[in-house]
A and B are shown apart, each in its own frame.
Chain A
Amino acid sequence: NAGVTQTPKFRVLKTGQSMTLLCAQDMNHEYMYWYRQDPGMGLRLIHYSVGEGTTAKGEVPDGYNVSRLKKQNFLLGLESAAPSQTSVYFCASSYRTGRLGTEAFFGQGTRLTVV
């Protein structure tokens, strides 16, 4: 019963390098999200997807791109990493949101350091 799986769990990048974070869920959820968690700021939404082939911007989308080619996967890309992108990244999925308080399920996080 995997739930939401994120890879990698840790990564160190040099400024200007690119990378992709992978999120996979096995619950057949329509909605998927990428958040970043920074000290004192809680979780902030980067991008989200309401279904296969769709993506939308969240609160802090600049410097990130996403793709949802398959329903179970949601990829987060950093094209040119900056130190300000040092953070812990969480992926989440849910059946729906905003309707009857649907619960979100979170991955264990990816700790990214940009030097």
Chain B
Amino acid sequence: GDSVTQMEGPVTLSEEAFLTINCTYTATGYPSLFWYVQYPGEGLQLLLKATKADDKGSNKGFEATYRKETTSFHLEKGSVQVSDSAVYFCALVVTNNNDMRFGAGTRLTVKP
């Protein structure tokens, strides 16, 4: 079935460090791909998305490129801040399907 695999955490970085969180997917159709972020005590909120191959989603300095050849959607940020500390979830929705599948989540802690 459709699924998402993302790198296990936790990830701890110093402020201004470069961030990569890996995400790969398995899907029988043509998925849309998402990154959601969950701040402490809150629900998930959309960070960025891409709906077709080679699309790049970006928001708040974060980027991810939909790579069909490697079935990947890795999240990157050039310079993280303490306020980026959160749990990040990769997710997919397959076209004409009715549910989203999430990865296990990666906890990021950024230290000053």
Say yes or no: B34 contacts A101, CB within 8 Å: yes
Digitize A87-101: 1 where CB-to-B-CB distance is under 8 Å, 0 elsewhere: 000101000011111
Tell which of A31, A42, A44, A101 touches B98, judged by Cβ atoms closer than 8 Å: A31
Annotate B26-53 by CB proximity to A: 1 below 8 A, 0 otherwise: 0000001110100001111110011100
Task: Flag whether A56 is at the interface (Cβ < 8 A).
Answer: yes
* Chain A proximity mask over B68-112: 1 for CB below 8 Å, otherwise 0: 000000000000000000000100011111111111110000000
Please give the distance in Å from A107's CB to the nearest CB on chain B.
Answer: 5
Say whether A115 faces chain B, with CB atoms less than 8 Å apart: no
Say whether B99 contacts A97, CB under 8 Å. Answer: yes
CA distance A100 to B98 in the complex (A): 13
Q: A9's closest neighbor in chain B, by CB?
A: B41
- Find out whether the CB atom of B98 lies under 8 angstroms from the CB atom of A103: no
> Using a Cβ cutoff of 8 Å, how many contacts connect chains A and B?
72
Q: Find the A residue at minimum CB distance from B57.
A: A101
Q: Give Cα A106 to B41, complex, Å.
A: 12
**A50 CA to B97 CA in the complex, in Å?**
11
How far does the alpha carbon of A33 sit from the alpha carbon of B102 in the complex, in Å? 13
For residue A22, CB closer than 8 A to chain B, the reply is no
Interface of B is mostly: strand
Q: Which residues of A contact B97 (CB under 8 A)?
A: 97-98
Q: Scan residues 62-113 of chain A and give those whose CB is less than 8 A from a CB of chain B.
A: 90, 92, 97-109
Also in contact, A103 and B43, with CB within 8 A (given A45-B100, A48-B99): no
Are A50 and B44 touching (Cβ within 8 A)? no
> A4 and B32 in contact (CB under 8 A), knowing A31-B98, A41-B104, A42-B102?
no
- Contact (Cβ within 8 A) B44 A106: yes
B44 touches A90 (CB 8 A): yes
Tell me, rounded to whole Å, the shortest Cβ–Cβ distance linking A39 to chain B. Answer: 9
- Identify the A interface with B (CB < 8 A): 4, 31, 33, 35, 40-45, 48, 50, 56, 58-59, 90, 92, 97-109
Pull 10 A–B residue pairs with CB atoms less than 8 Å apart, ordered by A. Answer: A42-B89, A45-B101, A48-B98, A92-B43, A97-B93, A97-B99, A98-B32, A101-B33, A109-B42, A109-B43
